[in-house]
Structure 1
Amino acid sequence: MTQSSTAAPDATRATPPAAELLGEPWAVGRADGTPFSKDPSVVRLGERYLMYFTLPPEQPGARRGWHVGIAESPDLRSWTLVGRLHPAGGHESRGLAAPGAIVLDGVVHLFYQSYGNGPRDAICHAWSADGVSFTRNDSNPVFRPTGAWNCGRAIDADVMVDGARLLLAYATRDPQMGVQMVGVAEAALDSGFGADAWRDLSVDAPALAPELPWELECIEAPALVRRGNRLVMFYAGGYNNEPQQIGYAVSEDGVHWTRGASEPFLPNGRPGTWNSSESGHPGVFTDADGRTYLFFQGNDSGGRTNYLAATEILWDEDRPRLGPPE
């Protein structure tokens, strides 16, 4: 398997319109009150929406203790913090971050990364019937990538059901820990998602690696959704605040990916706007009515603050776009 080297032939397009947000950008305050939340992932559990996201340590000045925040909303527009998932011992002792959530048979399954271990960070798994109180998988961490092209690290998990399998998209780096790339793995839906359940589909090469000018040396935060016979992956290009911007790629099989556009799908904002430093780390959510929403992080402070926001994605068959219906 090889990575895409060019965008699709019809991929050149004008800069998209500015995203129309659902409500105001939102964040939980740090210990000093500074708004700071990152890495959103949203699901619907019954009649409520739940968002999982990264929060910094609760102790002022602490380096360890990054964790997952849990917020609830009745309408995808206003959010209330209802819980936190704090690090356990062992591989999680320095922290955890970047959750990817999915609901299967009424249970929330959360895939998240250990934090602060450099090339040894890996994907962990936990589940919850109420979306707030989680039970960890006994075999955590459940996934690390293989292959000579990467360093064995796995972060930024996102999952989606694809037939009888669960696809897991992840980010990793090259052996020198300089360039961030994306790979894909799979596990059977009835496997329990433990450490022995996963098969890395990107053993020979990354699914996507940075090659466009705006992607710089980083592609990360994959977010998966199906449209008809094709899979769509939104991803972040550029490390945080370089600026980070959002693009997308398409695939027939979840293994081989082709960029959908040569320019960012959702760029950072113009000077003076709330997301002028970045529009980053996408999370995609499809509601029961079939409407699709893109959640992302942004700020205008070079990363000193961070807010979460969302915009609706419209579709021309399997091609996403922003803006009012045409």
Structure 2
Amino acid sequence: MSTFPLTFRLVDAPDQPVIGPDHPDLDGNKYGFEGGCFVKEADGYHAFMAEIADDPFNVRMRLAHWHSPDLRTWRRVGTLYETDSSIIPGDTRFSLWSPMVVFNDDEQRWNLFYVAYTPGEGVIHGQHTNGRIWRAISTIAGRAGVGGPYRDVGIVLQPDAESEPWEGQQATDSFYPWRVGAQWYSFYGGHNYVPPGPWPVGLAQAPALAGPWKRCPELNPSPLEPVFAENPLVTRVGAHFVAIYDNCAPGDTYIPEARHIGYSVSADGIHWPKGGNLAVQPPTGPAQWSEDIRTPLGLIAEDDGTFMMLYTGKLRGHKFWPVGLARLALA
């Protein structure tokens, strides 16, 4: 039983993914989705997701914008960024992931953060290494500019002299800022391929979304998970902060988990206790279509007191990662 001051329960979930392998707007997306976020605006819901578009797997990538009036009927709006399948040593943008949008009240403009990797060489040829967090801004001011187009304005976090040993060869990966008072915070992650290590996350802090972003070594790595935590997103729920993220089944390495995502609740948005499990699919029935839940894409409070969550997961028996939907409530 969770000891968090806030706990959630699954209310219901559709029997099928809301964006599956037969969706007419996939536009050649061969393998589905992993990582990103969604927001609710006056015209409906906007999702920004990494599309594993084609071969080489996890290399031919697109960062895409989708829209829905009701979270169930989706259309693909367009591609924000994409890669061309090349694996060229030293290419700092060979694979792009984790598009996260945040509205910046200070500049009245949407900011987009995403990860660009360099391909590993030698025994880790083609692996995602030396991740750099790019910041882009919408060229259209105001909340109506959520769909962009977006213009790159610089890198906010990357491997450097301040990198910490736990970050490994992959860091930095994933970045979703939230505000605590006058400061901004974000989780970021890493992983060591050789020798194999866990997938921890840590905190970075900045006085503004543009930075300068500094790691928080006194808090890192975060105690969220001992083995695997990826792509945390943080939402304010009442007086508390709720982090949702991709976790795994108990063990010493990544083990697929078919029903749950990870979550943690913080009183101040800075100090985070070890996470727990939150079910996004029921234990049986057609709505339990995944064999491995992957990345949650956000937690949005609705007017009726429930919370809507989009997430990605591997479709049972298929090499495709659709987008699922869950309706949650406070327990």
Tell me the TM-score normalized by structure 2: 0.74
- Say whether 1:178 aligns with 2:171: no
Return the letter of the residue paired with 1:242: P
State the shift of 1:178 in Å: 2.3
Return the letter of the residue paired with 1:283: L
Counterpart in the other structure of 2:124: none
- Say whether 1:43 aligns with 2:62: no
Structure 1 alignment gaps of length 5 or more:
1-6, 212-216, 316-320, 322-326
Q: 1:53 aligns with which of 49, 52, 60?
A: 49
Structure 2 alignment gaps of length 5 or more:
85-89, 120-127
Decide whether aligned partners of structure 1 residues 146 and 92 sit closer, same or farther in structure 2, where only a CA change above 3 A counts: closer
Return the letter of the residue paired with 1:249: S
Contact between 1:100 and 1:157, CA under 8 Å: does it hold in 2?
A: yes
Contact between 1:149 and 1:204, CA under 8 Å: does it hold in 2?
A: no
State the shift of 1:92 in Å: 4.7
Which deviations, in whole Å up to 9, do the C-alpha atoms of 1:75-115 show, x marking residues without a partner? 22211101112247986531211112112245221111114
The 2-side partners of 1:134 and 1:264 are apart by 33
Return the letter of the residue paired with 1:286: I
Q: 1:134 aligns with which of 138, 150, 154?
A: 150
State the shift of 1:266 in Å: 3.6
User: Once structures 1 and 2 are overlaid, which stretch shifts more, 245-254 or 127-136?
Assistant: 245-254
- Say whether 1:29 aligns with 2:26: yes
Contact between 1:272 and 1:300, CA under 8 Å: does it hold in 2?
A: no
Return the letter of the residue paired with 1:186: Q
Return the letter of the residue paired with 1:25: V
State the shift of 1:179 in Å: 0.7
Counterpart in the other structure of 1:147: 164
State the shift of 1:45 in Å: 4.2
Root-mean-square deviation (CA, aligned residues, Å) is 3.5
User: Once structures 1 and 2 are overlaid, which stretch shifts more, 296-305 or 77-86?
Assistant: 296-305
State the shift of 1:287 in Å: 5.2
Counterpart in the other structure of 1:114: 116
State the shift of 1:62 in Å: 7.2
Counterpart in the other structure of 1:160: 178
Return the letter of the residue paired with 1:94: F
The 2-side partners of 1:294 and 1:10 are apart by 19
The 2-side partners of 1:165 and 1:254 are apart by 11
The 2-side partners of 1:62 and 1:246 are apart by 24
Q: 2:78 aligns with which of 75, 83, 87?
A: 83
Decide whether aligned partners of structure 1 residues 19 and 299 sit closer, same or farther in structure 2, where only a CA change above 3 A counts: farther
Contact between 2:244 and 2:263, CA under 8 Å: does it hold in 1?
A: yes
Decide whether aligned partners of structure 1 residues 116 and 264 sit closer, same or farther in structure 2, where only a CA change above 3 A counts: farther
Q: Percent identity among equivalent residues?
A: 19
Tell me the TM-score normalized by structure 1: 0.75
Contact between 1:67 and 1:84, CA under 8 Å: does it hold in 2?
A: yes
The 2-side partners of 1:143 and 1:267 are apart by 35
